Amino acid sequence: MQPAGHTEASGHTPTGSYHESGTLEAWNERYATRGMVWGTDPNRFLAEYATGLTPRRILDLGCGQGRNAVWLATRGHRVTGIDLSPVAIEQACRLAADHAVEVIFEVADVVGGWTPPQGAFDLVVLSYLQLPPHDRRVAHAKATNAVAPGGTVWLIAHHSDNIADGVGGPQFPEVLFDEQALATDFGDLEILKNEKVFRDVEGEDGLVRAAHDILLVAAKPSKPDG
């Protein structure tokens, strides 16, 4: 999974501000001109977590070009992927067709008017959905709302420490997360894991450095009997 680690770190082009790099136009251009920006393999941490899971209903928020959603579908899961970029969703649909799997892909603004069906998913995945504080809280609240009782929210993101101590990823502190922020956002869930994890990334100079990510796994309590 080293290539995936490299592309996850190098998929961000330096710009003047998050507001410049995070627009719909910027994402459409990035996806239209740079091929499969993060490759076609799933995120390594997601693959480790999901390998062996029994088939379930999964929502991939900010699914991008569909690499995680399609991989999950090849494992027998019923997957819905949501992303703001119509270019990314078109590419995700092609990736699903190439793998002969069915995934429901939808162009929608996770932070804006889109609202997930309440309790409709057994697993909600957020993979590097890096948003500023207000938008982050909105997206994470929607993830909490979307997961069914007994279900799980699974999140991987660039850690706040990555700018100073890691490599790659967004260079804007306002869109990076730490353990305290995630503990607050998902306070209504049972947090099973909320910790820094590391990813080896090979740079253009051939040197391998560690990217700093944050991994959260949180479960929604089952409904009480009766």
- 198 forms beta bridges with 212
Closest C-alpha to 141, from 150, 153, 130:
153
In the numeric block, which tokens belong to residue 203? 């740079």
| All structural domains of the chain | 2-219 (3.40.50.150)
Reading the chain (226 residues) residue by residue, the pLDDT tens digits are 222 333 344 444 444 555 556 788 888 898 888 888 888 899 999 999 999 999 999 999 999 999 999 999 999 999 999 999 999 999 999 999 999 999 999 999 999 989 999 999 999 999 999 999 999 999 999 999 999 999 999 999 999 999 999 998 899 999 999 999 999 999 999 999 999 999 998 877 888 899 999 999 999 999 755 4
Nearest Cα to Cα of residue 39 among 61, 65, 13: 65
